[in-house]
Each structure stands twice: as C-alpha cells, then as structure tokens.
Chains A and B, each alone.
Chain A
Amino acid sequence: MENKVPMLEIENLHASVGGNAIIKGINLVVNEGEVHAIMGPNGSGKSTLALVLAGHPAYEVTEGSVRYDGQDLLELAPEERARKGVFLAFQYPVEIRGITNAYFLRFALNAIRAEQGIEELDTIDFLDVLKEKLEIIGWDESMMNRPVNDGFSGGEKKRNEILQMAILEPRLAVLDETDSGLDIDALKTVAAAVNKLRKPDNATIVVTHYQRMLNYIEPDFVHVLADGRIVKSGGKDLALELEEKGYDWLAPEVAAV
C-alpha cells in the first residue's frame, strides 16, 4: 500500500482506572481505510483501550500519547472527540429515558454538523436521512419514537449503536464487542451495515473476544492484547489461528514481554 495517511497514532500508551494499571504500553498506528481487529482474553485491556480513546473520565492516561489526524487526542473532551469523528459503539449501550431515539440522534448529528460548519438539519430533513439509514439495519421508524435504548433487547441496543454510527458517519469507529449477545442473523446484519459504511478515508477498530465477527468484517490487521500490551500482530489469518488454538498458546509470549 502506498501513500498511507496515518489517522490514529498510539504511542507507549499507559492507562489506569481507580489506581490499577490496565494498559501498559500500547503502540498502534491506524491508517485511513484500514480495519484493525483487537482481540484478547477477558481482562486484557481491550475495552479499556476503546474507552480511553473515547475519553471516558474514569480512565486516567498515565503515560504515552495518542494523536488523531496529527492532533493530541487526549487533550480533547469526549464530546470534542466525537465531533471530530471518533465514534464508540458501546459494549453496554446506556438507556436514557425521557428522550426519544430520534431526538437524541438529531441532536447528536447537529452537534457534529455544527462542528463541521454544515447547516443543522430540521426535523423533516433529518427524517429523510433517518429513513435511508434505517434500511441499513432493517428497522422501521417505530423504534425511533422510543426512549434511547429504554426497554430495548440486547440485540436491539447493538443495532441501535450501528444505526447511530450510520447516521453520524464517523471518521474513526471503535466497535467494542459489538458482536457479544447477538445471534447469528443479527450479527450478519450488523456486520453488513459496518461493511457498507467502510470508506477509503475512514477507519474501523473492531474489539472482540471471538473470531466469529471477523468472518463478516474482514480486518486488514489483527492484534492480540494480553495484560495491557499488544503481544502479537498479524493479518486476518491470525484471527483464525486464535480461534483454533485459543489464547493460551500466546502465554509464553505474554510472559516474555
């Protein structure tokens, strides 16, 4: 590949929560157009990495740097990161009563458009955008008049994350275990939606425990995280190898780090 444009540059990243070090020196570069999969056993720091990138206040970066489009990402507030195109599909999407899905999404989209200097959408124009995107995940409008994630099943919540991603059109999407809790049909729909949203100038980080999702979202790179560090990187075949052998065979490498 030529003329690679680096979008995200993570250098020697260390992060802790409540004084416990979770991430212990991650280095990773994600270029435009790439899909990276982050895999690893439970407790390896996968979700922490996703939350640190999004700016969750409970996580403290103790060392290292993260640059996003050449800018220091860590100094930006979570909403500023979002407005600049960083999107996190939550592992556990949050319920918000009192706000409809449609209202929430329109507000979010307009916040992002305002940042980009694009005219805000009124209710009617937004509805047009919404209709188009709803098709991608196979929903009708009735889901939009319900409060955000309130009373949604696990699968509906995950679909809702992808719908938000489709509408907000992020530059960098981080999918945190979006596959967990999905049956195979839902997984296919979600993966198809993610693939449809891939563009040469955006990038995706897929955080997952299982290889299953990577059958449908084909990664350019696979990284294995263990005890807060990337212990192995490779192409998509690495995921298959992990599926076959599990994570244990990497233990010596973990110990060697």
Chain B
Amino acid sequence: MSSIETQVTQPYKYGFVTDIDADQIPPGLNEDIIRLISAKKEEPDWLLEWRLKAYRRWTEMREPTWANVKFDPIDYQSIVYYSAPKSKKQLSSMDEVDPALVETFEKLGISLNEQKRLSGVAVDAIFDSVSVATTFSETLAKHGVIFCSFSDAVKDHPDLVRKYLGTVVPGGDNFYAALNAAVFSDGSFCYIPKGVRCPLELSTYFRINASNSGQFERTLIIADEGGYVSYLEGCSAPMRDENQLHAAVVELIALDDAQIKYATVQNWYPGDKNGKGGIFNFVTKRGKCAGINSKISWTQVETGSAITWKYPSCILQGDNSVGEFYSVAVTNNHQQADTGTKMIHIGKNTRSTIVSKGISAGVGQNTYRGEVRIMKNATGARNYSQCDSMLIGDKCGAHTFPYIDVRNSTAIMEHEASTSKIGEDQMFYAQQRGITAEDAVSMIVNGFCREVFKELPMEFAVEAQKLLGITLEGSVG
C-alpha cells in the first residue's frame, strides 16, 4: 500500500448496532402502507391526503439518471418504510427514554441529558423513523421558539405545518422528494417568531439502526420576520453489507429580514473499502428567501454515504435577499458524490455565493453540479462561484458541471475553479521536513477546506476537521 492509501483508510467509528425491539411494518410500498404510517402517527386527514397525492405522483415518475453516479437499481418494494423503537408507555420526560437509546446517542457523542449537553445547543434525536427526544424545548418555548419533532408539530401546531409544508419542496418536486412526501415518518420542526434571535444552536441527529429500512425524514424550518436561527444536523448508521436508502427533505423559509444558517455534517456509513454496503443519501434541501433582506446559508461537510445526491438550494425571491452555499464533499474508496447547489435569483439586488470544495481519494468520484439562474426581473443580481477540487492519489476523479442561465443583462457573475493534487511527491517533501504523512494530508486538506469550516459553529468545525482526518486516513500511502 502506498503511503497515500494507508492514510485514507480507517474503520468507520459509528458502525455499531443497537439491540432494541422495534415496531416495524412489513416491507413494501402501496397506499395501504402509507395509510398505516399515517395511522400510526395519528395524523389528520389532510396530511394523509397530501401523502397519497405525492405517492400517486411518484408512481408516475422515474428515478433521475442525469447524476454522475452508478448503482444497481433500488427495489422499493423490499424497503421497510417504518421502524420505530418500541416504547412501553407515553413519554413525559427525558428520564423515561429507553436507556438503550440514551446510551446509543451517548456513544455518538450526543447527550440527551440536558445537564450534560454541550452548552448552547438543543438537540432533536431521531432514531430510525421517529424522534426519541428533543432537548431544551421548554427553554426555547420561553422565547417563543418552537423546536420539536415533526410529529409533535403536526399535533400541536397544525396551522403552521399546513401553511408551510410543501411550499418550498412540493410533494411532487422530484422522484425522491415525492417518495419522501409519501412515506416520511418524522423529522424536526422549527419556528422562530417575529424578531426573535434563537438563543441556542438547534440541532438534529439522525441515526439509522434497523436493517432493510430506509430513513425518510422531513425537516421544516420557518424564520418569521427578523428572526434568526442557526441549525445543525448530524447523522450516522451501522455498518451493513446491503445499501440503505436515506431520502430526506429539508424546507427552509425566511421571511422579511430573517436569517437561517443550516449546517450539515454528514457521516452516514460509506460502505467498506471494496464498495460493499453504505447509505444512498438522496436528499432534497431547499430554502426560500421569501422576504426582503432575508438570508439563507447552507454549509455542508459530506464525508459519509456510498452515494450522495444532494443540492441544497436557495430561491431568492425577496429583494436584496442573500443565498450562500459552502460545501466540502469527500469521496474515498468507492464513494460517489454528485452534489452542489442551485441559486435562483428572482428578486432585485439578490446576491449568492457558492464555495465548493471536492476531495477525491481512493477510486472515489466527486462531482460538483450547480446552477445559477438569474431571472428576467432580477435586476442587479450578483453571483460569485468557486469550485475547487483536490485529488489524493491517481485513481480517483473530480468533475465539475456549472450551469449558468442569465436572463437579465445587469447581472454580475464570477466563476473560479481549480484542481490540485496531493501526490507521493508532496508527501515525501513534507516528510523530509519532519512532518508525518498523516499530518501532511490533514494540513493540506484542512487548508483546502478552511473557507468552508469557518462557516460552521466552532465546536462543529473542530468535529468536522477530525472527521475529515478519519475519513481520509489511509488515503496516503
């Protein structure tokens, strides 16, 4: 093994399985299954109808094939669409959460005990199809902030859910979004009222545990006029030989003068070094800057998953609104990523920034795909895009597909791109100066990703750096 290879290969640290009784429905997908999921969640009729409508659309849709990824066809009838840890009774406090679940999240570094929590962060913990705990809900409620599981939101805040659900990512938006709309089982819901700056970082941690199941969660975040929230999601899954599907939807809505920062540290099981197993992460994330002077920032650090298909986007509808996308995507071994963003400029003087850093190692394939569209009435729009690729070793690939569609001549567009390579020569050079190959790779990679990491909340930036080190360990040989 060359020194590059030995570095980018390290065992996945979060691959354990929690032994817990699950309430699982039979595999397969049809209207009865959807009715069953909806019934288990005691949902109102309108939501069941919304699901069924999406399902009917889905049956007429085909999987997208334009992405630069390869995989065997998915058998949607073999997936279990609902799997929840059995709860013996109604939970009224955190003390009643199954200790096995508390322990699982502890092992992942997520404490559900509020006393032990990282200060300043509230967490919604999602285990397979359901939310098992949401911390600091009461503290947040004092500020009028609603932060709860999607299921609770449907029960407790039906008007808000009904008003905004599907307004950014409609039920029939695309194949995976339609599938999600039909079967989504839980997720997080957040509402920031007018003029409130959310006092805590909010975060959702997704854990897939059951085998043969998929995870289909849906997150909806609304920042009302002048509101501000910073949100972070993390995720992991056991190591299994078969692929598992994760098809999530995230919708963000920012009204006048509101700001939402949404960060993801994605660490789903990537499969083994021969490409066996791993999560298919087919996710639709979109934010709408509905109000004037609103701002939505996406930051993502994508290190896991066998395949990532994900384009967190911004619809810049309000005048003077701002969209940002900062991304680090790593593909090692046989991982494939096709990720990027869409910035749709509709309002006047709208601005967007795209900074994408792709790192490929092993035989990984990393694709940036982005679209910047300036609509006819978007006078004075500006975009700055930067796409940098880094290759580690000589068997991986980097691909860039930037689409630019300008329909207003006042637009100012900037695009920069670069490709660099970490090779044996650089490793030897650093080693000759007393620096180990591991340190050299981590130095180079962290330097490469700095612009994106600085967008993450401090604690998570440190986590992301470590994660990147682990993900790439063994890639230098």
Contacts and interface: CB of A to CB of B under 8 A. Distances in A.
A88 B431 CA distance: 11
A54 B433 CA distance: 10
Contact of B443 (A56, A83, A90, A103): A103
Contact of A93 (B3, B429, B447, B448): B429
Nearest to A150: B420
Interface string B423-434: 011101111111
Interface in B405-452: 418, 420, 424-426, 428-437, 439, 443-445, 447-448
A83 B430 CA distance: 12
Nearest to A113: B434
B433 A168 contact: yes
Interface residues of B, number: 24
A251 interface: no
Interface stretch (A14-22, A74-82, A123-131, A230-238): A74-82
Interface in A168-226: 168
A247 to B, nearest CB: 29
Contact of A98 (B425, B434, B444): B444
Give the interface size class of chain A.
20 to 34
Interface stretch (A24-32, A65-73, A104-112): A104-112
Nearest to A97: B420
B431 A82 contact: yes
Contacts, number: 79
Contacts of B3: 57
A115 B434 contact: yes
B476 to A, nearest CB: 11
Interface in A42-89: 54-58, 77-79, 81-83, 87-88
19 contacts: A55-B432, A57-B2, A58-B424, A78-B432, A79-B432, A79-B435, A82-B431, A88-B432, A94-B425, A96-B430, A96-B444, A98-B420, A100-B447, A105-B433, A107-B435, A107-B439, A111-B434, A111-B435, A115-B434
Given A87-B432, A98-B420, 20 more contacts: A77-B431, A79-B432, A79-B437, A82-B433, A82-B434, A90-B429, A96-B426, A96-B430, A97-B418, A99-B443, A99-B444, A103-B447, A104-B430, A105-B433, A107-B435, A107-B439, A108-B434, A111-B434, A111-B439, A168-B434
Interface of A: 54-58, 77-79, 81-83, 87-88, 90, 93-100, 103-105, 107-108, 111-112, 115, 164, 168
